[in-house]
Structure 1
Amino acid sequence: MFELLLAAYSTISTQDSAHFLGMNENDATNYVLQQGWVLDSASQTLTVKKQAVVKEQKLDPSKLQRLTEYVFHLEH
């Protein structure tokens, strides 16, 4: 559920985050703060810290070869 909140929100209230995470408000707030989120105490709003997206993928030549053979088979 945390991953979904991370993807869906840029800011969220502490009450809503607790509801979605299935925790009490204090525990949920402490949890997300440990994940790098920022709390605005005046408005009780959390700013979501997006995690860096890893884009590097290692290409396995054997998998590419199997995919090529499969597509070739479908076309012929």
Structure 2
Amino acid sequence: MKVGLDSTVFKNRKFIDWLISNRGRFETHISEVVYIETLLWYKRIGIGKEGFDDDLNELKAEKKSFFKKKRSKQDT
């Protein structure tokens, strides 16, 4: 099942821990906007980028680009 996470989800540690323990059941992703919002919150509470990236790695979360990549003439 595909699951897109919002930045507010990361404030619920029990839910994040549950997702981590059940990560094989989900294909988890976040947008670039959610990444930046959550990163700022992690820094503000003293966890920082390393802690956030550790959580994303444990979740096996993929960061999805907000913008579509432009195709070059070589791609066509």
TM-score relative to the length of structure 2: 0.31
- Whose relative contact order is higher, 1 or 2, with alpha carbons under 8 Å and at least 6 apart? 2
- Whichever of the two has the greater Rg, that structure is 1
TM-score relative to the length of structure 1: 0.31
More helix by share: 2
